[in-house]
Amino acid sequence: MVDLIVIGAGPAGLTAALYALRAGKTVTVLEKGVFGGQMTYSPKLENYPGFLEISGNELADKMMEQVLSHGAELEMETVTALETVGETKKVITENGHFEAKAVIIATGAAHRHLGVEGEEALIGNGISFCAVCDGDFYKGQPVAVIGGGNSALQEALLLSKTSSRVIIVQNLSVLTGEQTSVDKVLATDNIEVIFNSVVTGFEADTALKGVKIKNTENGEEQIIPCEGVFVAIGLIPDTAPFRDVIELDSYGYVKADESCLTNIPGVFTAGDCRTKAIRQISTAISDGAAAALAACKYIG
């Protein structure tokens, strides 16, 4: 039995662990994938306060070193369920279970991938999921945005300020974002929209050179020359193990505001897996601090 179990070792989970440890609590962090979470896939971060430039891996290593120096236990475990037995929280994993007085769910959300050949190899080397994070790498260059919802339109508008040309590839005959965003996109000179088309592959040698698309109505194929591709077709929150215990919204995100409280006493949430408007490393860290302080108050 420990005071706190943090599920997920991304920036939200590691920050939560740090705050709880500094408050004198015993903490176990469970992570099924990569310690540091999705930020480890970012080769260069230029919008994280305190650093002109730092890689996601380097930042993750610094956070890991910090929580380990304060006595955190880090375990590679895949969580399969969460049970509440009185005041005890039992976290079930593939290899057994852990018990704590409180739990923070910081499992994050994964960007939905296109699932086409060559995509995985180009992630971080031409394919991105965040214009705020990576848009500046393509100043003066042509880029493509895949998707037609609000996220895709916002990405395109942001990229249009720095990139020479932005091509939106939408699989439907209309853009599905809010009308105000649609109007702005259609009125922006260097944004072009290609409708009824899907991505079938990529042109690349040592770096991305273009994206292959196919028209779903007439079958015509073409290659769009571009230096970067921004995939904006949605997120998948990693909350399946908790759906029978805590309240989720219709998209699978944990229902909680900036207080990071769930509907179950002693169970908190932080980071990209919770309902929120902005998903960035900085907002994940904010959540981690808030969730940890709330958890420490609950533990007493």
Residue 299 in tokens: 């533990």
Instruction: Give the sign of the dihedral formed by CA 95, CA 76, CA 291, CA 154.
Output: negative
Q: In what order do the strands lie in the sheet with 191-194?
A: 127-128, 228-231, 142-146, 165-169, 191-194
The answer to whether 164 and 190 are in contact (CB under 8 A) is yes
Q: Do domains 2-110+235-299 and 113-231 have the same CATH topology?
A: yes
Q: How many CB atoms lie within 10 A of CB 70?
A: 13
Look up 189 and say whether it is catalytic.
no
pLDDT of residue 248: 97
The answer to whether 153 and 177 are in contact (CB under 8 A) is yes
pLDDT of residue 44: 77
Amino acid at 172: L
Which one of 3, 133, 273, 287 is the catalytic residue? 133
Look up 226 and say whether it is catalytic.
no
pLDDT of residue 260: 97
Q: Where are the domains of the chain?
A: 2-110+235-299, 113-231
Query: Of the candidates 266, 220, 263, which has an alpha carbon nearest to the alpha carbon of residue 245?
Result: 263
Could you tell me whether strands 2-7 and 27-31 are parallel, antiparallel, or unpaired per DSSP bridges? parallel
pLDDT of residue 86: 84
Phi, psi of 264 (to 5 degrees): -110, 120
Which one of 3, 134, 238, 287 is the catalytic residue? 134
The three-state secondary structure class of 147 is coil
Phi, psi of 223 (to 5 degrees): -115, 125
pLDDT of residue 41: 73
User: Domain 2-110+235-299 is of which CATH architecture?
Assistant: 3-Layer(bba) Sandwich (3.50)
pLDDT of residue 133: 83
The whole-angstrom separation of Cα 158 and Cα 185 is 10
pLDDT, tens digit (0-9, with 9 covering 90-100), for 216-262: 999 999 999 999 999 999 889 999 999 999 999 999 999 999 999 99
Mark the ranges of the chain whose per-residue pLDDT is less than 50: none
The whole-angstrom separation of Cα 281 and Cα 11 is 6
The answer to whether 197 and 170 are in contact (CB under 8 A) is yes
Look up 296 and say whether it is catalytic.
no
pLDDT of residue 269: 98
The whole-angstrom separation of Cα 161 and Cα 136 is 10
DSSP state of 43: S
The three-state secondary structure class of 216 is coil
pLDDT of residue 148: 96
pLDDT of residue 124: 87
pLDDT of residue 190: 98
Which helix or strand (DSSP H or E) is residue 198 part of?
strand 197-204
**Fold exhibited by the domain 113-231:** FAD/NAD(P)-binding domain (3.50.50)
Which one of 3, 61, 130, 205 is the catalytic residue? 130
The three-state secondary structure class of 167 is strand
Give pTM, 2 decimals.
Answer: 0.78
The three-state secondary structure class of 15 is helix
Query: Of the candidates 244, 260, 248, 236, which has an alpha carbon nearest to the alpha carbon of residue 103?
Result: 260
